[in-house]
Amino acid sequence: MVVPQERKDSEQGIEDMINLSDLNEQSILNNIKARYARELIYTYTGSILVAVNPYRMYNIYGLDMVKRYEGRTLGSLPPHIFAIASTSYTKMMKATENQVIVISGESGAGKTESTKLVMQYLAAVNKSGNNLITEQIVESNPLLESFGNAKTIRNDNSSRFGKYIEVFFKKGSMVGARTQEYLLEKSRIVNQASDERNYHVFYEMLDAMSDAEKAKYGLQPASKYFYLNQGGNSAIAGRDDAENFRKMTQAMDVLNFNKQERETVFRILSSVLHIGNIYFKEISNENNDNTVELGSDAEIKWISHLLQLSEDWLKQSLTSKVTEARGDRVYTAYNLDQALDARDAIAKALYSRLFTWMVEKINSTTCHAEREKYTSLAVLDIFGFEDFSVNSFEQLCINYANETLQYFFNQHIFRLEQQEYTKEKIRWNHIDFIDNKPTIDLISTKPAGILHLLDDESNFPQASDQSFLEKCHYHHGSNPLYGKPRMSGMEFSISHYAGHIKYDVTHFIEKNKDTLRSHVIELMCESKNQMISQMFKDMRDRLITKTLSKTTGRYITLKPKTATVAASFGESLLSLIDTMTRCNPYFIRCIKPNTTKTAMHFDESVILQQLRYTGMMETIRIRKMGYPIRVKFPHFIERYRCLLLGAKIPARELPNEVCAKILVTQGPTQADQYQIGATKDE
């Protein structure tokens, strides 16, 4: 019995969805489902790779697969992440044009693993004789994963920061790499939701260290620490924290961390845990104001010892604030809430400063290349779209980033395609697509975008989360993309490209300011540990501006207006997009198959929602209706003039006329398969 091709395609799925004969939501979903059932997790949409997370590892990423895909044309072999990496690498080599692979998707869709696989491929095909620089670039990943990834309700290994890795090449040889980090989630250091964890490194350290090493840092089991026990049971099925600690310390060796640097890293990590266990007792002073005193000195002594700080100064920083008036220092005692906030602020500053130092340390080892001198292949792995039971400031920033990346995708795939066809005077049907620019404007446009309103309020001493929310309602209440709560709750909602999301504004201003009091920075600068002291001196210097006085001719130190988290992140995001627009992009769309992290379980409703908001339907339609192969006239003539069977081409004949003569040789049946543009054949 002969099975019709359409039925065979329907049952087994086809590799490139552009070739679907019946194009609709259900046929796309069925195609991905049919391939997933056959354990084929990759599918093309032209040059875009759709990757459905299997929640398990397959043996399809070995050196044999690297060799199989190396140098091969996209589409000549079954869909694979190595095919995208190979095509991008080959184009960089041949066209000497910078490339970027944009890996996007929801939290839990598999972006982190996809990034590792791309880096693994580049390391394998790289022609460098210097294996050390290649190893250092690859080994930076387990280090950053330990310090920047955590278990969330959606994902056991969720990246809680964004990273843009530029790998530099010279004649096909890997000569260096630079990592840019974005928006580490600081709140996780001090708070975790039920069934979530703090950053992996804490659990790895406690699981792997010997009793003697733990005693050296005053460490106990994870369940004893407030910063680690809020989420409940900290074990992750299938994750070996002790083995990951071994990989992390091995990475430190490869990346030239010296003994003192490693020791200081563990001192800081241990101190963060001790800080979380500081508790306070409320007392009343003579004015009947509630103030606090430390409940115990035990943790203070450990922190003072580990960070090599003044014990008295540390106590003072935790229980009172310092203001300067006419050259005098005035100490004001904290109440309980203020003391707890001060404690958490110190912990967040220590860890986030350590993380930034770690990235700088990696770059100092791996980045000996100058961006202008070499071609680069960059990989963007940035947080996926997030919608939790309670969404806060971090989720707004993350979803703003995703809106911006979706716009970049729209611009490249849709608008640039349409502009190209118009420029080439090609006849075709214009396709409208969902433009998310109005949502980006709602969030970020001056002067009344939500993040700009937040910055304005953050600069007013008397402002509150409530006053910020009222301004949002005032400016955006009539915007159809913005929603007010039915009751007078502390929230607003935004219609994102990925869905309607509510944001709780509680602590928005505090998180945006992210202020660490100057006397705490000075305390850390006075550490007798040179590495810790220098970390915070660098931080202090970035916050201080010097200007030349016209009257005295001396430099005056000014207290600057500290950049807010929203402003800094917005600038970084725009800089990232600007860098990416100067590269040739490839896209990997990661899809989460279910919400329970179950291996090989395909939930149609979960996947269909993601296909809708990733613009997959429009992508397939525009590519299928258009002409994906485009060749400039000179190249076309050089390649296919043999079809003229030796006929001479008159010198005055225009290139488009020569191309027309070549194409006519294919007969009238092929006439609707091509068009001749202004500069190229389509």
Render pLDDT for 661-680 as a digit per residue (tens, 0 to 9): 999 999 988 888 889 998 86
In the prediction, which pLDDT does 292 show?
93
Rounded mean pLDDT, 57-67: 95
Q: What's the Rg (C-alpha) of the chain? A: 29
Is the Cβ–Cβ distance between 34 and 11 less than 8 Å? yes
Most confident by average pLDDT, 232-241, 257-266, 518-527: 257-266
Most confident by average pLDDT, 16-20, 85-89, 334-338, 434-438: 85-89
Whether pLDDT at 530 is above 50: yes
Single-letter amino acid code for the residue at 290? N
Q: How far apart are CA 144 and CA 663, in angstroms?
A: 54
What is the CB neighbour count within 10 angstroms for residue 563? 14
pLDDT in tens, 456-489: 999 998 999 999 999 999 999 999 999 999 888 9
Q: How far apart are CA 133 and CA 385, in angstroms?
A: 34
Residues with Cβ < 8 Å from 16, sequence gap 6 or more?
43, 44, 45, 46, 75, 79
Name the pLDDT band for 20 (thresholds 50, 70, 90): confident
DSSP-based three-state secondary structure for 602: coil
Rounded mean pLDDT, 145-159: 93
Q: Of all residues in the chain, what percent carry a pLDDT higher than 70?
A: 91
Whether pLDDT at 546 is above 70: no
Instruction: Determine which of 23-32, 263-272, 469-478 has the lowest per-residue pLDDT on average.
Output: 23-32
In the prediction, which pLDDT does 622 show?
66
Residues with Cβ < 8 Å from 643, sequence gap 6 or more?
662, 665, 666
pLDDT in tens, 328-344: 778 889 999 999 999 99
Q: How far apart are CA 320 and CA 245, in angstroms?
A: 38
Name the pLDDT band for 323 (thresholds 50, 70, 90): confident
In the prediction, which pLDDT does 561 show?
52
Rounded mean pLDDT, 124-140: 89
Both tokens assigned to 119: 């880096």
Residues with Cβ < 8 Å from 398, sequence gap 6 or more?
183, 383, 384, 385, 386
In the prediction, which pLDDT does 498 show?
82
In the prediction, which pLDDT does 178 show?
96
Q: How far apart are CA 134 and CA 128, in angstroms?
A: 8
Both tokens assigned to 285: 């002073």
Whether pLDDT at 414 is above 50: yes
Nearest 5°: phi and psi at 158?
-85, 130
Residues with Cβ < 8 Å from 196, sequence gap 6 or more?
150, 151, 152, 153, 188, 231
Annotated binding site for ATP: 105-112
In the prediction, which pLDDT does 357 show?
97
Q: Of all residues in the chain, what percent carry a pLDDT higher than 90?
A: 66
Whether pLDDT at 423 is above 60: yes
Nearest 5°: phi and psi at 194?
-60, 135
In the prediction, which pLDDT does 47 show?
87
Name the pLDDT band for 46 (thresholds 50, 70, 90): confident
CB burial of 114-141 (b: ≥16 within 10 Å; e: otherwise) equals bbbbbbbbbbbbbebeeeebbebbbbbb
Q: How far apart are CA 240 and CA 632, in angstroms?
A: 54
Whether pLDDT at 8 is above 60: no
Is the Cβ–Cβ distance between 595 and 154 less than 8 Å? yes
Place of tokens 């002073």: 285
Is the Cβ–Cβ distance between 189 and 272 less than 8 Å? yes
Whether pLDDT at 98 is above 70: yes
List residues bridging with 321 in a β-sheet. Answer: 332
Residues marked as catalytic: 107-108, 112, 155, 158-159, 384, 386
In the prediction, which pLDDT does 447 show?
94
DSSP-based three-state secondary structure for 105: coil
Name the pLDDT band for 542 (thresholds 50, 70, 90): confident
pLDDT in tens, 345-397: 999 999 999 999 999 999 999 997 666 689 999 999 988 788 888 999 999 99
Distances (CA, A) of 237 to 145, 151, 204, 440, 597: 17, 11, 14, 39, 11
Per the prediction, the chain carries an average pLDDT of 89
What is the CB neighbour count within 10 angstroms for residue 510? 14
Please give the biggest Cα pair distance in the chain: 107
CB burial of 530-554 (b: ≥16 within 10 Å; e: otherwise) equals ebbbebbbebeeeeeeeeeeeeeee
Whether pLDDT at 310 is above 70: yes
pLDDT in tens, 552-576: 555 455 555 557 899 999 999 999 9
Rounded mean pLDDT, 421-447: 85
Q: Which of 198, 240, 238, 245 is nearest to 222 (CA)?
A: 198
Is the Cβ–Cβ distance between 94 and 370 less than 8 Å? no
Q: Which of 120, 104, 110 is nearest to 164 (CA)?
A: 104
Annotated binding site: 105-112
Name the pLDDT band for 628 (thresholds 50, 70, 90): low
Domain layout of the chain by residue ranges? 633-673
